[in-house]
Amino acid sequence: MKHLLSLSDISREDLRKLVELTEYFKKIRLAGNNCPKILSGKSIGLLFEKPSTRTRVSLEVAIVELGGYPVYMDPRSLQLARGEPIKDTARVLSRYLDAIVTRVYSQETLIELKRYSDIPVINALSDKFHPLQAISDMFTLKEHFGFIKGLKLAFIGDGGSNVCHSLLLACSMLGVSMSVACPPEYQPQKDVLDKAKEHASVTGAKIEVVENPEKAVEGADAVYTDVFVSMGFEKEREKRLKIFLPRYQVNRQLLKKAKNSAVFMHCLPAKRGEEVTEDLLEDPEISIVWTQAENRLHSAKAVLAYIFGKR
Ligand code: CP
Ligand code: NVA
């Protein structure tokens, strides 16, 4: 049985296949062809502890278009809210559902859920990782540039965020160099960085963490950022904004230091005026954020097909 708690659950070859599968699902949808009903008769649980627009809706639509049935669950309306443990919830849900996709505050919750589930568990974002976003972004890079190995992505901002962590793994697995510019207090976690460097030693990617955003964007094909205050860290808002602003904001001035052909990427939702300026986010010549968001639908199908071994 396949799970996807982080990109460490899959091989480099699997990730390459997921990018190809995303391309396949995008092509057939754009051509107006019917999606193969590979989830026919299957019910997929969506258990979300935190808000979500893209992940939730793209997954629900992907499941329906693949012929399956999505069961959305808000933990506040489950017995979890009254103290029923995750391990009991996992064993019960396993008897109704065919897979659980879940967005949680803590990666530990995912590990507990996987331990007690008899069905695949997919991470729809935790405090540590956001694998679905990174898989989709690898496809977006390939779609935009026509190739992926040899590109360079600069990530500016919270190096310890779920999105940065998953990008470090995905990029290093596919031979995309990545330069993370972040304050010393917000560096990527060591185990993630070590794993990325291990992949990079095989794929030829260059992985570095620096303090200076100008240095990170030198020669970059894509400049990526994410919010400075991720969900679950709201109490640190003031402290974080003081540390990140203005130095780590992505704006035109910073983009000018990347390649002329560089694109701006963001997982969304964005906080305009914080990690990115409004004009850059809205510039259709540079910003590919809407395509990134669209691709979450196609990549969600790819992940579900992969989990159920149908492609
Ligand atoms: N990028 C992303 O995961 O967005 P949502 O929080 O809206 O799902
Ligand atoms: N790092 C952000 C990503 C949102 C998709 C968060 O966790 O809030």
| Residue 89 confidence (pLDDT) | 98
| Radius of gyration of the chain measured on its C-alpha atoms | 19
For residue range 163-179, list pLDDT tens digits in order: 999 999 999 999 999 99
pLDDT of residue 17 exceeding 90: yes
User: What is the overall mean pLDDT for the chain?
Assistant: 97
DSSP 145: H
Given the structure tokens 């995309």, which residue do they identify? 176
Which range marks the domain in which residue 117 is found? 7-129+295-307
| 128 CA → ligand 2 middle, Å | 10
The pick from 106, 231, 266 for probing ligand 2's pocket by mutation, whose C-beta has the most ligand atoms within 8 angstroms, reads: 231
| 136 CA → ligand 1 middle, Å | 12
| Residue 31 confidence (pLDDT) | 94
Indicate whether 101 belongs to any domain: yes
168 and 99 part of one domain: no
For residue range 45-90, list pLDDT tens digits in order: 999 999 999 999 999 999 999 999 999 999 999 999 999 999 999 9
Does residue 267's CB lie within 6 angstroms of at least one atom of ligand 2? yes
Q: Say how many domains are in the chain.
A: 2
Indicate whether 120 belongs to any domain: yes
Does residue 227's CB lie within 6 angstroms of at least one atom of ligand 2? yes
Cα–Cα–Cα angle for 131, 137, 143, rounded to 5 degrees: 145
For residue range 208-262, list pLDDT tens digits in order: 999 999 999 999 999 999 999 999 999 999 999 999 999 999 999 999 999 999 9
For residue 132, which ligand has an atom nearest its CA? 1
The pick from 226, 236, 296 for probing ligand 2's pocket by mutation, whose C-beta has the most ligand atoms within 8 angstroms, reads: 226
We report the CATH number of the domain holding residue 188 as: 3.40.50.1370
228 and 98 part of one domain: no
| 130 CA → ligand 1 middle, Å | 9
Given the structure tokens 């062809």, which residue do they identify? 33
Indicate whether 2 belongs to any domain: no
25 and 143 part of one domain: no
Token digits of residue 204 = 């030829």
Specify the pTM.
Answer: 0.98
